[in-house]
Amino acid sequence: QINEAEVVLFSVPSYACQRRTTLDNHNVTLTDALSLLAENAELSDEDGRGVAFRRAAAVLKALPAPVTAMSQLTGLPCLGDHSLRVIKDILENEASDEVESTKQSDRFKALKVLTGIFGVGSKTADRWIRDGIHNLHQLQESGATLNRAQQAGLEHYDDLNQQVTKAEADAITEIVQEAVVSVLPGAQVVLTGGFRRGKQTGHDVDFLITHPEEGREVGLMPKVVFWLESQGFLLYQKTTRNSYLEVKDGPGRPSSNMDRFERCLSIFKLAKKEERGIKLTNPPAHRRWRAVRVDLVVSPISQFAFALLGWTGSKLFERELRRWAGHEKAMSLSSHALYDNKQSRYLRAASEEEIFAHLGLEYIPPSERNA
């Protein structure tokens, strides 16, 4: 029995971008449960429900201590009836029936397995499930047509579903740095995504590339990709060219949340640690490399701060920044620019700190953007 006076009451602001969310999560059981329901909703094309569960999980991630009683949650934002019911079930019974039955359901399991293939989204997976395909074996037997990304995804399925370690991310950083400075001296490479937020593992490794002189970065990606390919570092790559024009297609009239930088979605062939730098005379019994997903993005220096902020994540933190900008400040934020709708002009920024300042937000460093 907890004494009423000893119950810790929590208070958090309602936008995730107003909060400091470290990796030190005191409510893992609860946030795992809500994240699973979010994932299930997203895989079922119910994005609204997905975001609601993600926001609820993010509020719990920001709490300074474990939740032990429902009464502690009074007044907290983003906790809807559904999320509160799940939390209550777990606090009272150690588990939520809804979460457990979702986890066990054939449909959820099939969606997870199929979308675990690089290049397969929820729509494709859903179509396959309706055709009776529930696992990789059935997919291979079905004769379904796979695009190039999906073929590579299937081929490297086990590797790509194994978490990337920080050590592997560091090894890839060295390779990308060598590639970039070889083709354009003075160009800069920054690790973004989860690893920049301090995560020790990730599903891929994300990089942002720029050059301190505006314009020098034009045409950089194909050169980097050619260098990597000729050195045998790429198992797969698909490069998309820059399609951003500030005047015609700026954030004043955003067509989607997708950014338009020159980007390369790739699969690296990374030598295993014990093999790196070693030349063997006999072929070893085990495979000497593994496949790792790597994302490369090139940004002009004038947009670098926005690109860095946009590619550091977390995804929910980004979504909340854009929602804050739009709803609270009448501004449009993208990975390219910040547009002030009241002043009808773009607000320049040379650093992430300046962007937070434009938005009237306290600066949150990457390690505290783990919402």
Of 35-43, 56-64, 175-183, 304-312: span binding ligand CTP (CB under 6 A) = 304-312
For residues 301 and 208, give the distance between their C-alpha atoms in angstroms, rounded to a whole number: 11
Which one among 25, 27, 314, 334 touches ligand CTP, defined by CB under 6 A?
A: 314
Of 74-82, 85-93, 178-186, 311-319: span binding ligand CTP (CB under 6 A) = 311-319
Provide the minimum distance between the beta carbon of 25 and ligand CTP in the complex, in angstroms, as a whole number: 15
Q: What is the DSSP track for 329-364?
A: HSEEE-SS-EEETTTTEEPP-SSHHHHHHHTT----
> Does the annotation mark 204 as catalytic?
yes
Q: Please choose which of Mn ion, ligand CTP, none residue 314 contacts, taking the beta carbon within 5 to 8 angstroms, the exact cut-off set by kind.
A: ligand CTP
Provide the minimum distance between the beta carbon of 29 and ligand CTP in the complex, in angstroms, as a whole number: 20
- The verdict on 153 binding ligand CTP (CB under 6 A) reads no
- The verdict on 318 binding ligand CTP (CB under 6 A) reads yes
Please, which residue, 167 or 245, has the CB nearer to Mn ion? 167
- The verdict on 320 binding ligand CTP (CB under 6 A) reads no
Q: How many CB atoms lie within 10 A of CB 311?
A: 23
Is residue 338 within 8 Å of residue 325, measured between CB atoms? yes
Catalytic pick among 126, 159, 204, 259: 204
Report the residue closest to Mn ion, judged by CB: 193
Which one among 130, 253, 315, 342 touches ligand CTP, defined by CB under 6 A?
A: 315
15-34 positions binding Mn ion, by CB under 5 A: 24
The per-residue b/e assignment along 208-219, b for 16 or more CB within 10 angstroms, e otherwise, is bbbbeeeebbee
- The verdict on 262 binding ligand CTP (CB under 6 A) reads no
Q: Where are the alpha helices (DSSP H) in the chain?
A: 28-43, 47-61, 81-93, 97-104, 106-115, 122-130, 136-142, 148-155, 157-160, 166-183, 193-196, 220-230, 246-249, 304-312, 315-329, 352-358
333-362 positions binding ligand CTP, by CB under 6 A: 335
For residues 97 and 184, give the distance between their C-alpha atoms in angstroms, rounded to a whole number: 56
Provide the minimum distance between the beta carbon of 141 and ligand CTP in the complex, in angstroms, as a whole number: 30
Provide the minimum distance between the beta carbon of 63 and Mn ion in the complex, in angstroms, as a whole number: 9
Which one among 39, 168, 206, 318 touches Mn ion, defined by CB under 5 A?
A: 206
Give the distance from CA 56 to its chain's centroid.
Answer: 18
268-297 positions binding Mn ion, by CB under 5 A: 295
Q: How many CB atoms lie within 10 A of CB 200?
A: 13
Q: Please choose which of ligand CTP, Mn ion, none residue 334 contacts, taking the beta carbon within 5 to 8 angstroms, the exact cut-off set by kind.
A: none
For residues 329 and 331, give the distance between their C-alpha atoms in angstroms, rounded to a whole number: 5
186-245 positions binding ligand CTP, by CB under 6 A: 193-194, 199, 202-204, 206
Please, which residue, 23 or 181, has the CB nearer to ligand CTP? 23
- The verdict on 256 binding ligand CTP (CB under 6 A) reads no
Question: Which residue type is seen at 243?
Answer: S
φ and ψ at 234, to 5 degrees? -115, 130
Report in angstroms the alpha-carbon separations of 41 from 45, 67, 154, 292. Answer: 6, 25, 24, 27
Rg for the chain, CA atoms, rounded: 22
Residue ranges in contact with ligand CTP by CB under 6 A: 193-194, 199, 202-204, 206, 258-259, 310-315, 318, 335
Give the residue numbers marked as catalytic. Answer: 204, 206, 295
